[in-house]
């Protein structure tokens, strides 16, 4: 599998596996958006943390990952956010990404 190290956020584009055309950002997501998406079907989360490789959370783990990790750290991109307002002083900005012939994914850009 293709390994990609995150150099900065926001991410401009990325590739996964055999998808050489890469994914493109579709739209930012709120908590409500994510609830609707994962109720429809399991989805992959990908974490982008500067200095680290993209971390893939498999679709079979998406509900637990959402419930125990993402919900409490998800920031609203339309508001001013302070790290100290989140547990362990880190947060995620979420966005939906799409690619031809691939299922959409949710990218979580980590800030700490």
Written as tens digits, the pLDDT of the chain (112 aa) is: 456 788 888 888 777 765 556 788 999 999 999 999 988 888 899 999 999 998 999 889 999 999 999 999 999 988 999 999 999 999 999 999 988 777 889 999 999 9
User: How far is Cα 19 from Cα 9, in angstroms, rounded to an integer?
Assistant: 21
Cα-based torsion angle of the residue sequence 18, 94, 68, 89 in order, rounded to the nearest 10 degrees: 120
pLDDT of residue 19: 58
pLDDT at residue 23, rounded to an integer: 84
The total domain count for the chain is 1
The boundaries of the domain holding residue 33 are: 14-111
In a domain, 6, yes or no: no
Q: Does a structural domain hold residue 21?
A: yes
Q: What is the pTM of this model?
A: 0.89
DSSP strand pairing (44-48 vs 105-111): parallel
The answer as to whether 9 is a domain residue is: no
In a domain, 69, yes or no: yes
C-alpha pair distances (Å), 41 with each of 20, 37, 93: 25, 7, 21
């Amino acid at each position: 599998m293709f390994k990609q190290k995150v150099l900065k956020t926001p991410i401009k584009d990325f590739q996964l596996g055999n998808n050489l055309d890469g994914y493109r950002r579709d739209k930012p997501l709120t908590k409500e958006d994510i609830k609707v998406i994962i109720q429809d079907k399991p989805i992959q989360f990908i974490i982008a943390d500067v200095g680290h490789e993209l971390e893939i959370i498999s679709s079979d783990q998406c509900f637990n990952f959402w419930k125990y990790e993402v919900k409490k750290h998800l920031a609203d991109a339309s508001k001013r956010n302070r790290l100290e307002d989140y547990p362990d002083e880190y947060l995620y900005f979420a966005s939906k990404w799409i690619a031809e012939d691939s299922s959409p994914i949710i990218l979580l850009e980590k800030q700490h």
